[in-house]
Structure 1
Amino acid sequence: MDASALPPRIDINGISLNADPGQRPLQVDSCTTIVSLFASRCAGLGARTAHREKDMGLWKSYSWDDYWTHAKWIGLALRKLGLERGEVVSILSEDRKEWAWLDLGIQCVGGIASGVYTTDSDKQLSYLLRDSDSRFLIVENEEQLDKFLHIEGEVPDLLNVIILEDEGLHDLNHPKCLMIDALYRIGQQAEAAQPGQFEAEIAKADPGDIALLIYTSGTTGPPKGAMLSHENIMAAISSWLHALPVFDTDEQLCFLPLCHILERGVSIYLPLASKCKVNFAESPETVFSNLQEVSPSTFIAVPRVWEKIHSQVTILINEATPLGRKAFHAALVTGIKRAAYLTENKPVPLDLAWRFRLWDFLVLRNLRRMLGLDRLRRGGSGAAPISPELLRWYWAIGVPLVEGFGMTETAGIATINTPVTNRIGTIGRTVPGTELRISEIGEIEARGLNIFKGYWRNNEKTAETFTDDGWLRTGDMGRIDDDGFVTITGRMKDILITAGGKNIAPAEIESRLKFSHFISDAVVIGDARKYLTALIMIDQENVEKFAQEQKVPFSDFPSLCAAKEVRALIGGELDQANKDFARVEQIKDFRIIDVLLTAEDEELTATMKLKRGQVEKSHGKLIEEMYQ
């Protein structure tokens, strides 16, 4: 290509990017595909640490050389075993370094990587493997292998199953199953027989090739496989780096499922560009202790995680001495006043800045250190709405927490607030390279190089998702203010129309309810009804603490939910929330769901989002009680 035809370049944190992220050919450090960027980084960084993971209780480092070598063995072995370019390989595992090795190894030889949530049932696994026509399945351990063994007869086209952990499987003798070490040996033999084959496969990659197949969470029907190309991912990386700085000295903590586009982008693809270090959490259950150990520079989480940290602090403060509680309250009041200036992008008055520095030294700095947020330059929240009050609370304790918006179909990013340009209650401004508009019916529509190619083998759904002039229908309703900040007012499918004809978006009400540290989630009911009601999921830890302090007897979770004192507690929280809404938007009655829901339950997606329709179906009796 003629050099004069290349787009103008800029340098951000030592990374060369298109000056305009929406301009083709899109490049990051002169690379136009994920796999060419991967090869460039491994060659340049070599022995530097790329990943860290705990082994026998100790953090162990793995270099970019390790990354390259294992990805090469994986890719070459899969080709040797029959993988063709454009075919799908599914990965069924919790987060770990091998996830990244597999992801890049598959893509480097032209395969399409598709993640499967470990909480999916064997029935769901069967659907995903058949729908994607996967040729290989990688499973983490015996538990995940059992799912395949239950549905083996339903997926005859699957060539092999590769197992990452051999614990409990030493006597396994199955013609399609092999351990990861055996796969590595096949890759080593393939490399010895044909040196340079891996590099040749990388060179064949085109920006328009499909790199990922990411299945939607299935909140509105069977999951659909969203096809994301190399260009889509490179556009997302470029947009992110234009909007928010990431440095090669940064450390991150990977803990959200890598099946999800947000964590995949933040913990696998963004580090390819920024050269930062990624630490893999031991498990979702240990994320808070791992957070304390790592003290990351940036940390992206779903609202439920940020809510949980807030709840932990609330418990700690309640258990503190009277003097400690008084000091924290004074520090928080000062922090809230300071945050009001910062979140409106205004200079903090000098006297207030000095008062905050004092309380930060005496109280807040130690709190952040205890939480593992002491080195945090920026926190991020996505995947679901977060309460504005919760955002202000984090800013008050010295943690700049910003909210953004993206979806699988936008390669994970479309808008973002930043610590410098931030408007709480909005999802920020569009990232460079992405355009948004509001349709005549109030739906947010998007356009850019990050927009996906369509749904796998589902032309009908693809056509429904795009407008006649090529804009993506996001399914979210919203508005854009004069300064370009975007506000989501609700999901198109979730809008409630009361019996009186009032249109109500439940998302804002639910978000306000969840700010209570006694409420972990809520579903507002009211479609075709005379008034609004709510199904409440209590926060077990905080409500149990309340019950113990108030000497409320309970023997298990259902009895805790049934206690009249707990019902009065939640009723009081709803009364407080109702003050923020018009009369027609106020909750008139509620019921507490007395079952602890996990991602394995039908009511929740793997990313812990409630499936509204399923919740209403499962708890229809409770709903009818509120309208008798």
Structure 2
Amino acid sequence: MDTTFPRLLLQHAARRPTDAAMREKEFGIWQALTWAGLAQLVEQLAAGLHAAGLSRGEHLVIIGANRPRLYATMLAAQALGAIPVPLYQDAVAAECAFPINNAEVRFAVAEDQEQVDKLLEIRGQCPQLQAIWFDDPRGLRNYSEPGLASLDTLADTGREIAQGNPGLFRAQVEKGSPDDVAAMFFTSGTTGNPKGVVHTHRTLLDRARAGAEFDHLTEREEVLAYLPPAWIGQNIFSYAQWLACGYVVNCPESSGTVMIDLKEIGPTYYFAPPRVFEGLLTTVMIRMEDAGAIKRHMFHACMRLARRVGPALMDHAPVKWIDRLAYRLGDLLVYGPLRNNLGFSRVRVAYTAGEAIGPDLFTFYRSIGINLKQLYGSTETAVFVCLQPDNQVRADTVGVPIRGVEIRVAENGEILVRSPGLLKGYYKNPQATSEVLTGDGWYHTSDAGFMDAQGHLKIIDRVKDVGRIHGGPNDGALFAPKYVENKLKFFPFIKEAVAYGDGRDRVCVMVNIDFDAVGNWAERRNLPYAGYTDLAQKPEVYALVKDCVEKVNADLAADEKLAGSQVNRFLILHKELDADDGELTRTNKVRRGFIGDKYRVLVEALYDGRPEQFIETQVKFEDGRTGVVRATLRIEDARTFPPVKAAA
């Protein structure tokens, strides 16, 4: 059915006015906003923005976390035919300047003082930025910048206008078309400036509905919106599908209370990138290691059973009655309390995407009764391309093409997608648009992969990153850096990895340890340390990471195509890779080329055979100050294994 986001809002408000549309936790108490209340707020904000001069086709920047009034502002802009542009709330001020200037933004809405300060800092670079409205007034009482006002002021103005012209809002909504631009999302910009991905109401709602149909989502779902709204994944789950289905979106009090809020809400539909699931499991394992001997023994015994029969039970496969009985007992003693402790007691469908998830991690969640699945998509495809059907869930694939999606594999192994959810184009960048969209509607994903015999898609790496080893005993061998990095990150002690090897005679890796997991491991062994840099260079920690690297090598040796990608040498970095230092994107993807240039001296040391290397690195702290981290890094050799020959 052809429609727009504001029309869907009005339909929900008319059909179920007193039902909760959103909840927000404030001062420890959940406050509900009904569909009728939300529609009224959107009307007031839309009238206020109209009076301020926001016109059809114009862009409005929104920067902040998930907040009902920021969602309402997006709907208000769309009601006027304007285009909301969410920006990452953790981006530094300088990163906001390009999107604001690129989209010629005159008006911005900020969550709080932190976001207002960023916008004021770059105002000199963005002379067209006329007005900034803020949601949370704390700390802003004495600000007297021109054009700075609260959303309350905007809503009050809009209320007066709406009372004087009650037909204004609906008349503006009716002017909207499904093919109007609904939102613009800026890519993470792994190379160069980010690109504005333009999506219409039709593309976003088509994919939202396709995903909802696939997993039988209804208005009874509960969702916790805790990831950045600027990321299209969060936007699809808590905005597009929210309005398509009419379920309840819950906004946590702060990033620090997400785990508590997760337990209180008990979502039925949940999404998280792999690193969130890794962090949850790491927390569980740390707590179990600190538990008493009896509790620890019971946990490990139940988990051995769960890994053996849990996934089969989840997939409704045949399981012996004695195992079913034992699993029920385990559910009573361990799995049920564990799901409750994680906040997953009511989860019906949980998804992960963005990066590969480790098979052991994936199996853990499914074995304790959580229906965790993988999906495949991107900003340009409005997320939903492939999803995993219930009872066909595997750790090494990303599912099957869903309604409306066609997939083709090019000769170079690149995945091509044709779908009703494809971007309209990159804003003001026709050349980039023509590079990814063919004349007959195929989108170049830049991912390398293939369809397996069961019709599931398997992703190997980025096409541009798949290379070859040059020289040495593995000359000509395939090198897939992301594949190697993800295998290393499957270990709870390794948070990040950066692999090099294309055009070189061997593979070398730089590693970030997980400070919490390794710190707890060190404390249980009475190993003293003074911060991340000191802990990372401990011989015992190197031995721990070396064991992980060699396990990955043994695993790679069993893969005939990737046996040449085994890691020969590695080092542990002296600092954590950070988006503020340019080493990660805002979606926490490694910027491998940037890191290679920044740490060129370390890359050269890895390949020169040096046992150690001094490094001095400038870092940026959260409060904007800069400092320098100095260290002499150890470099270790890792054992490699001969390729395992496939059986004849």
Normalised-by-shorter TM-score class:
over 0.9
Paired letter, 1:532: V
Aligned-partner SS, 1:119 = coil
Partner residue, 2:251: 280
Alignment partner, residue 567 of structure 1: 542
Question: What code does the residue aligned with 2:522 have?
Answer: A
1:608 aligns with 2:588: yes
1:357-380 Cα offsets, whole Å, 9 max, x none, are 111112111111111111111211
* Offset, 1:343: 6.8
SS in 2 for 1:241: helix
Partner of 2:260: 289
Residue 352 of structure 1, CA deviation: 2.3
State how 1:28-177 maps to structure 2 within 5 Å. 31-177=2-148
Is 1:550 paired with 2:521? no
Q: Given the alignment, which residue of 220, 223, 230 partners 1:252?
A: 223
2:163 alignment partner AA: A
Q: CA deviation at 1:597?
A: 3.6
Aligned with residue 347 of structure 2, among 360, 372, 376? 376
Q: Is the 8 A contact 1:235 1:433 kept in 2?
A: no
Give SS of 1:440's match. Answer: coil
Q: What whole-Å deviation, never above 9, does each CA across 1:465-496 have from its counterpart, x for those lacking one?
A: 11242200011111012321000011112223
SS at match of 1:446: strand
| C-alpha distance in 1 between matches for 2:236 and 2:296 | 40
Distance 1:619 1:399 in 2: 41
Aligned AA (2:65): E
The answer for the alignment partner of 1:22 in structure 2 is none
Alignment counterpart, residue 322 of structure 1, candidates 293, 310, 324: 293
Inter-partner Cα distance in structure 1 for 2:149 and 2:103: 22
Q: Do 2:28 and 2:253's aligned partners in 1 also have CA atoms closer than 8 Å? A: no
Give deviations 1:262-308, integer Å, cap 9, x for gaps. 10110112121222111112233322222122221121001110000
Cα deviation code 1:70-114 (max 9, x no counterpart): 111111111111111011000111121122111111111101010
Distance in 2 (CA, whole Å) between partners of 1:42 and 1:435 is 36
Are 2:587 and 1:587 aligned?
A: no
Unmatched 5+ stretches in structure 1: 1-26
Structure 1 residues 453-462 or 186-195, which shifts more?
Answer: 186-195
Answering whether residue 512 of structure 2 is matched by residue 537 of structure 1, we say yes
228-237 or 115-124: which moved more? 115-124
Code of the residue aligned with 2:515 in structure 1: it is: Q
CA RMSD of aligned residues (A): 1.5
Whether 1:465 and 2:445 are equivalent positions in the alignment is no
Cα gap change, 1:332 to 1:358, in 2 (>3 Å): same
Aligned equivalents of 1:237, 1:91: Cα separation in 2:
21
Could you say what secondary structure the match of 2:527 adopts? coil
Amino acid at match of 2:605: E
Instruction: Tell me which of 169, 181, 187 is aligned to 2:152.
Output: 181
1:205 and 1:420 map into 2 onto residues whose CA distance is 41
How many angstroms apart in 2 are the aligned matches of 1:612 and 1:282? Answer: 35
TM-score, length-scaled by structure 1: 0.93
CA gap of 1:569–1:253, structure 2 versus 1, over 3 A, is same
Structure 1 residue 340: deviation in Å? 4.5
Map Cα deviations across residues 116-160 of structure 1 (whole Å, 9 max, x no partner).
Answer: 112222222111100011121111222222222222122222231
CA contact (8 A) 1:605 1:611 kept: yes
- Per the alignment, residue 198 of structure 2 pairs with 227
Which is worse superposed, 330-339 or 84-93? 330-339
Equivalence for 1:514: 489
Alignment map for 1:490-529 (pairs within 5 Å): 490-499=461-470, 500-529=475-504
Structure 2 gap segments, 5+ residues each: 558-562, 609-648
Q: Output one character per residue of 1:204-239: Cα deviation in whole Å (capped at 9) or x when no partner.
A: 111111011100000122100000001101111121
The percent identity for this pair of structures is 31
1:196 CA drift (Å): 1.3
Deviation at 1:450, TM superposition (A): 0.6
| Pair 1:222–1:342, CA change in 2 (3 A) | farther
SS of match in other structure, 1:581: helix
Deviation of 1:162 (Å):
0.8
Whole-angstrom CA distance in 1 between matches of 2:165 and 2:203? 32
Whether the 8 Å contact between 2:26 and 2:253 is mirrored in structure 1 is no
Distance in 1, Cα, partners of 2:603 & 2:258 = 35
Does structure 1 residue 425 correspond to structure 2 residue 400?
no
- Helix, strand or coil at the partner of 2:581: coil
Alpha carbons of structure 1 residues 64 and 599: separation in structure 2 relative to 1, 3 Å? farther
* CA spacing shift, 1:593–1:576, aligned 2, 3 Å: same
Aligned length in residues: 599
Give the Å deviation of 1:342: 4.9
Tell me the CA shift for residue 40 of structure 1. Answer: 0.7
Greater RCO (Cα-Cα under 8 Å, separation 6 or more): 1
Write the distance in 1 (CA, Å) between the matches of 2:511 and 2:65.
Answer: 29
Q: What is the distance in 2 between the residues matched to 1:418 and 1:289?
A: 30
Q: CA 1:285/1:527 → structure 2, altered by over 3 Å: closer, same or farther?
A: farther
Deviation at 1:443, TM superposition (A): 0.7
- For residues 307 and 76 of structure 1, what CA distance do their matches in structure 2 show? 45
Match of 1:577, as an amino acid? V
Matched with 1:407 is 378
- Deviation, 1:389, is 2.1
Partner Cα distance (2:602, 2:167) in 1:
64
1:502 Cα offset (Å):
2.3
Alpha-carbon distance in structure 1 between the residues aligned to 2:413 and 2:579: 32
Residues 1:618 and 2:598 are matched in the alignment:
yes
Structure 1 residues 245 and 524 mapped into 2: Cα distance closer, same or farther (>3 Å)? same
| SS in structure 2 of the partner of residue 152 of structure 1 | coil
| Alignment TM-score, normalising by the size of structure 2 | 0.90
CA contact (8 A) 1:343 1:423 kept: no
Residues in 1 aligned to 2:13 and 2:601: alpha-carbon distance in whole angstroms? 57
| SS of equivalent residue, structure 1 residue 467 | coil
Q: Please identify, of 164-173 and 541-550, the stretch whose mean Cα deviation from structure 2 is larger.
A: 164-173
Q: How many Å separate the matches in 2 of 1:270 and 1:455?
A: 23
Whether the aligned pair in 1 keeps the contact of 2:353 and 2:375 (CA below 8 Å) is yes
- 2:21–2:33 Cα contact (<8 Å) kept: yes
Deviates more, 1:506-515 or 1:434-443: 506-515
The 8 Å contact of residues 404 and 428 in structure 1, kept in 2 or not, is answered as yes
Task: Give the aligned partner of residue 209 of structure 1.
Answer: 180
The one-letter code of the counterpart of 2:347 is L
Q: Which stretch of the first structure deviates more once superposed, 241-250 or 457-466?
A: 241-250
Residue type at the aligned position of 2:498: V
SS of 2:580's partner is coil
Higher mean C-alpha displacement, 544-553 vs 498-507: 498-507
Q: Which residue of 2 aligns with 1:11?
A: none
Amino acid of the structure 2 residue aligned with 1:498: I
Amino acid across the alignment from 1:122: A
Q: Distance in 2 between matches of 1:398 and 1:61?
A: 30
Structure 2: which amino acid aligns with 1:529?
R
52-61 or 347-356, which moves further after superposition? 347-356
Paired residues of 1:129 and 1:155 also in contact (CA < 8 A): yes
